[in-house]
Copies of this chain bind each other. A is one copy, B any other.
């Protein structure tokens, strides 16, 4: 089983946008992160920092292709309290990815697989699906993960033998 395969590649046209927030209601952070993802950010994360006068602040980080800079700025200036942002040029090296499915006692589950130079180096069950199964069947989330990983590993062994 194999959908939306992507080749391993390096993208040199990326920007890491950073905004230091020392006077914003932290309650808004996850809302703003979601909004940045919706607007096309590749990644968004927050770093706890200590700012001028010992203020506990948050550094918002947004990873995005250069052409999306202004879209991100509109969200950041519109939704946060910052008076300025900075950006650094970055290159992203992304593994080839594919999604495989494994049969479990709760039905099919998707495994995201990563390849580096053609070699399988990563595999992880899809969080959303495992979460749904854990809720639907009232089993611990970690048990769903374990089972999905177990099935995937066995599938690999059978395939290679």
Residues of A near any B CB (own CB < 8 A): 14, 16, 20, 22-33, 37, 43-59, 61, 63, 73-74, 77-95, 97, 112, 114, 116, 121-122, 124, 127, 131, 134, 140-142, 145-146, 149-150, 153-154
Contacts and interface: CB of A to CB of B under 8 A. Distances in A.
A27 B48 contact: no
Contacts of A149: 146, 149-150
Contacts of A153: 146, 150
Contacts of A141: 28, 31-32, 79
Interface centre among A80, A90, A93 (most CB of B within 10 A): A93
A57 B86 contact: no
Contacts of A92: 84-86
A92 to B, nearest CB: 5
Contact of A56 (B26, B53, B140): B26
A37 B68 CA distance: 32
Nearest to A61: B49
